[in-house]
Each structure stands twice: as structure tokens, then as C-alpha cells.
Amino acid sequence: MRIIRDYTYVDRSDRGASVAIGNFDGVHIGHQSVIDIARKAGEEIGAPLGVLTFEPHPREYFAPDAPPFRLMGRAARAHRLHKLGVERLYELNFNAALSALSPHAFAHDVISEGLGLRHVVVGADFCFGKGRAGNAADLERFGAEMGFGVSVARLLEGETGEVSSTAIRRALSDGRPRDAAAMLGHWHRIEGIVVGGEQRGRELGYPTANMSISGLHQPRFGVYAVIVDVLGGPHQGQYHGAASLGVRPMFGGEVPNLETFLFDFSGDLYGTDLSVALVEYLRPEETFDGLDAFIAQMDADCVRAREILTAL
């Protein structure tokens, strides 16, 4: 998959794609449906499959001090899109110039002239251009005028209602990762580099791989059964485990992070990229009357997590 970030300088081989347009936060089943329509349109006209998205997320750009809301960072999104067979990721820099484009200018300067797209697919609720003034019907009109095809995908509904990134965030905030996974079409994953910690877990017999969750939506704090993919290095592979997500109240922590204990694993993971899938919420964070009680609870957490993950 090739990543293109500047629509004003585009190699000839990267033009002419059939693309799905959106923010694709989480790459949930609704997003996947839009991508599939773009894939089929591309097959019909002999065009590569692409995704057109923005970085930073426009919501981050306009409200930089708002609480973190993203389900995944740019690297995790690219990783997921690559798995779906996307060949061109147009990850455009969302800045003052881009945000100031009128709907017509966006269609002309970015879609038609800049990227030379042959077909675009958007959701029925798609809005674009300065002040979100353009909608899907406007895009269809511009496509007819400028020579690119447009498909409008219906909004997808799951068992609990419309599938959306907002509904997925709500499920994660409630400690319902399986409901989130049903809407995502995959486990919700936190991806990142293992960083150094206080090595307190090692002293307790539970060495953990520590990861930052800065900039991401925070699922309900507590202990989870998890599936861990080590994405590179000598220990590359998939493992089961238990993870604590939160501020570690037993030890007076303040900055939320993710601490994951991998079952049946021995080795150094510092600096390694991990992808941790939240499978089931086990219990909230809590404090204990001493380390013995804390270790006994971790023992019980791991037993339960093993049972849950073995039954998948």
C-alpha cells in the first residue's frame, strides 16, 4: 500500500483510483462496506482501490484541547486498511488551506485535478468543504460535472442500532468490548511501542509490557482478557494475556496507560510494536489491603482470562 499525503504532487501511477472517502476512525463494518463498494467499482473500471482520509482528524484540528476521542492512531488505521487490501491511502494533511476549500473547490482541486480520482464512494451522511457545507448530493452533481463517478452508501445498522464510531466509543466506555467488536468487525486494538515502566510487575511475578494510550479514546478502566500480537522482532507472534488499563490506583498512578501480561512468555519486548485486542472486561481498577491480596487477585484474573480466551 502506498501512502500519499500531498494532493498537489501526485505520481501518475497514484492517480485514477476508486476511493472511499471518510475519516475511518476504527475502520468499522460501516467503513468496510463503503470500501467494498469502492473495490467493486474499481474492479469494473480497472482502477486501484484507495481510501481518502485526513490527518489530523478534522475534529482534532478544530478542537485540539478536547478530550481524546480517536479509536486508533494513523499507523493503526493504515495497518488495518492495508489488511483490507487498500492499495492507495491518500492521507491528506488537514490544515487551514484544506479546511478553507469550498465544496466545489474540494471536488475540483482535490478529487478531480489533484488526485485524478475516477470514482468516489461516500456514506449517506457525508459532508465536506468549508463549514461542512457540501453533502452527498452535491458530490454527485460535481462528479457529473467534472467526470468522476460517485456512489452513496447507505448507513449500516447492527443489532443495537446504527453502526458508528460514536456507538463504538460508548460501548468501550461502558466496558463492553464484545459489543464494540461486533460493530468494528474485529477486536478493538490498542497499538503502540512497549515503553519502560517501573518494573513493579516483574517484582510481583507479573512482568508487563507497558504502552501509552495518549491521544486515544479511553475504554473503561480496569482489567481485561486480551489477545496480543507482537508485530516484529524475535518474539513475533500471537499470545493470550491479561491487561490492566488505567492509572494503577494501588500504586498512586496518575497517567493512564496499558500494562499487559503475556501468558507463557519470556523475553524482552522494550521498543517492540504490540497490538493488544480487548476481548472481555473482567473487573474495575481497585486498591487492596496489601500486596498479597493484590497478587491473589491477579492470579484469579489470569485464570479467568485464560478460560475466556481458550473458549474463543
Q: Which three cell numbers stand for residue 19?
A: 476511493
Q: Sign of torsion, CA 60 123 159 80?
A: negative
Q: Which three cell numbers stand for residue 308?
A: 475466556
Q: Sign of torsion, CA 94 135 162 167?
A: positive
pLDDT, residue 287, reads 86
Strand order in the sheet with 49-55: 2-4, 88-93, 49-55, 18-21, 119-123, 149-153
Global pTM reads: 0.91
Instruction: Give whole-number Cα distances, 121 to 131, 146, 287, in Å.
Output: 21, 15, 50
CB contact at 8 A, 153 and 33: yes
β-pair type (88-93, 2-4): parallel
Q: Pick from 17, 10, 12: which is nearest to 43 by CA?
A: 17
CB contact set of 263 (below 8 Å; sequence gap of 6+)? 239, 240, 241, 242, 302, 305, 306
pLDDT, residue 251, reads 59
Q: Any idea which residue has 482520509 for its cell?
A: 53
pLDDT, residue 203, reads 61
Question: What is the rounded CA–CA span in Å between residue 183 and residue 185?
Answer: 6
Question: What is the rounded CA–CA span in Å between residue 140 and residue 69?
Answer: 31
Please report, to the nearest 10 degrees, the dihedral formed by the alpha carbons of residues 82, 84, 85, 89 taken in order: -50
Residues of the chain with pLDDT under 70: 158-161, 197-203, 249-253
CB contact at 8 A, 243 and 276: yes
First-residue to last-residue Cα distance in the chain: 31
